[in-house]
Amino acid sequence: MAEIEKKPVKIVETVLRDAHQSLLATRMTTEQMLPIVDKMDRVGYHAVECWGGATFDACLRFLKEDPWDRLRKLRAGFKNTKLQMLFRGQNILGYNHYADDVVEYFVQKSIANGIDIIRIFDCLNDLRNLQTSVKAAKKEKGHAQIALCYTLGDAYTLDYWKEIAKRIEDMGADSICIKDMAGLLTPYRAEELVRALKESTQLPIDLHTHYTSGVASMTYLKAVEAGCDIIDTAMSPLALGTSQPATEVMVETFRGTKYDTGYDQNLLAEIADYFRPIREKALETGLLNPKVLGVNIKTLQYQVPGGMLSNLVSQLKEAGAEDKYYQVLEEVPRVRKDFGEPPLVTPSSQIVGTQAVLNVLSGERYKMVTKESKKILMGEFGQTVKPFNPEVQKKVIGDEKPITCRPADLIAPELPKFEKACAQWKQQDEDVLSYALFPKVAEEFFKYREAQQTKVDGTMAKDKSYPV
Ligand code: CO
């Protein structure tokens, strides 16, 4: 019998980033992560996604942890596995555009502290917003992966994806990711998309999806058969629902085929045993809401990410207008169209969602507008794939002249200003970056850190170090 040609599928494990961001409100602590790092390091994962996204904000804001310290500890523990982070292009890990000097410095420090692969995306898929971070990652000898936010709409044809993939390759990216944050990509569409991308680019293709609509593991299967090189999965206790398909399930699916990962299922079982009590506890305390674990077919119907649905619910609850939920859901695609049909992902999902809520609650569309809605229509987030609705744009920005250049071209260097503002708190170079992204939250964290240190006469640092 002829040897079958082997093409093991590569796996990015997301349990330390996206999985707990999606299911546990990003509340997994470094202390919860470290004891299992050694075993995870033996699996042979292509990479472990463990930093960036919302984890940075959550560390400082809710966990009172230094995110840089977390990264260094993970780096020390993962001796053989590449570490991956999620990076929002010119927004870094925040929600606004930053100057190039801040973006470059953040990339430099991320790699210096242990990141190997930076997955970079822009909420409008405006590649100009990724130039600086891709260049910086290459300069620091990191792997620059560009992620395309997957979405549906008139503009998003196979030709659109093929053309943009080609441009990504020309930009010097090392790989390309289809980032399906809402779980909209169905199995046969995935097959078609991966085939098309493979025709237009030589770059390795990574598919990232969420289980929200229940089709994700089938989507991975069809994508891998079509030539997808890398898939993102989460260990079973924190998989499914709004998280990723389960690692063990995908490993088993491909066993004995040319895509066999060769991972040790016993080792994976031990890792799952470690995370299971974390899941159980989260269910008990209510941190993990069983609602997000089921299949939510509404995401396919309304084409909005699961996280955005729950945000809308809480915004309406606060306004005492929960009965307007379906009206708002119908308003979301209208606002999205007015705003040039962007993908719905942080921060565009919040901007579109909030505006849809205002449009419904105020009883007149665009009678009330947020600062961010105005910014989008001023071109300050970048270029959308379709033009804005001219009437809406006129109503919101009046006679102001929208910009058409790369937004960061208009932002003067910002680092010196941030250095000065946080000088009194600074204990490490990286502090200025925490401060640049989240000034108030970082300042509170710095105060907390100082208080902890004085409380224990400077022995705190020793107490807090882990044997990794
Ligand atoms: Co995700």
CA of 209 to the centre of ligand 1 (A): 6
CA of 387 to the centre of ligand 1 (A): 27
pLDDT tens-digit map of 401-418: 999 999 999 999 999 999
CA of 28 to the centre of ligand 1 (A): 16
CA of 210 to the centre of ligand 1 (A): 6
CA of 52 to the centre of ligand 1 (A): 11
Q: Which residues make Cβ contacts (< 8 Å) with residue 6, sequence separation at least 6?
A: 258, 260
CA of 5 to the centre of ligand 1 (A): 31
CA of 238 to the centre of ligand 1 (A): 13
CA of 382 to the centre of ligand 1 (A): 22
Q: Which residues make Cβ contacts (< 8 Å) with residue 117, sequence separation at least 6?
A: 47, 82, 83, 84, 85, 142, 143, 145
User: Which of 140, 49, 149, 170 is closest to 91 using CA atoms?
Assistant: 149
CA of 121 to the centre of ligand 1 (A): 11
CA of 212 to the centre of ligand 1 (A): 11
Tell me the average pLDDT across 51-60. 97
In this structure, the dihedral spanned by the alpha carbons of residues 378, 381, 385 and 390, taken in order and rounded to 10 degrees, is: -10
User: Which of 67, 89, 47 is closest to 345 using CA atoms?
Assistant: 89
| Residue 466 confidence (pLDDT) | 41
pLDDT tens-digit map of 217-269: 999 999 999 999 999 999 999 999 999 999 999 999 999 999 999 999 999 99
- Quick one: residue 119, left, alpha or beta (phi over 0 = left, psi -120 to 50 = alpha)? beta
Residue 383 has phi, psi (to 5 degrees) of: -95, 135
| Residue 463 confidence (pLDDT) | 45
CA of 326 to the centre of ligand 1 (A): 25
CA of 354 to the centre of ligand 1 (A): 21
| Residue 2 confidence (pLDDT) | 59
CA of 399 to the centre of ligand 1 (A): 38
Q: Is the dihedral of CA 447, 453, 456, 462 positive or negative?
A: positive
CA of 6 to the centre of ligand 1 (A): 28
| Residue 252 confidence (pLDDT) | 98
CA of 453 to the centre of ligand 1 (A): 36
CA of 181 to the centre of ligand 1 (A): 5
CA of 428 to the centre of ligand 1 (A): 30
> Over 70: is that where the pLDDT of 468 sits?
no
CA of 208 to the centre of ligand 1 (A): 7
CA of 3 to the centre of ligand 1 (A): 36
CA of 119 to the centre of ligand 1 (A): 11
| Residue 462 confidence (pLDDT) | 47
Task: Centre a 10 Å sphere on the Cβ of residue 115 and count the other Cβ atoms it contains.
Answer: 25
pLDDT tens-digit map of 70-108: 999 999 999 999 999 999 999 999 988 999 999 999 999
> Over 70: is that where the pLDDT of 350 sits?
yes
The mean-pLDDT minimum among 22-26, 78-82, 438-442 falls in 22-26
CA of 124 to the centre of ligand 1 (A): 16
How far is it, in rounded angstroms, from Cα 296 to Cα 294? 6
CA of 257 to the centre of ligand 1 (A): 27
CA of 306 to the centre of ligand 1 (A): 11
Residue 13, classed as helix, strand or coil, is strand
pLDDT tens-digit map of 148-164: 999 999 999 999 999 99
Across the chain, mean pLDDT equals 94
CA of 419 to the centre of ligand 1 (A): 32
Q: Is the dihedral of CA 301, 306, 312, 313 positive or negative?
A: positive
| Residue 275 confidence (pLDDT) | 98
CA of 412 to the centre of ligand 1 (A): 32
Question: Do residues 124 and 152 lie in contact, with contact meaning Cβ atoms separated by under 8 Å?
Answer: no
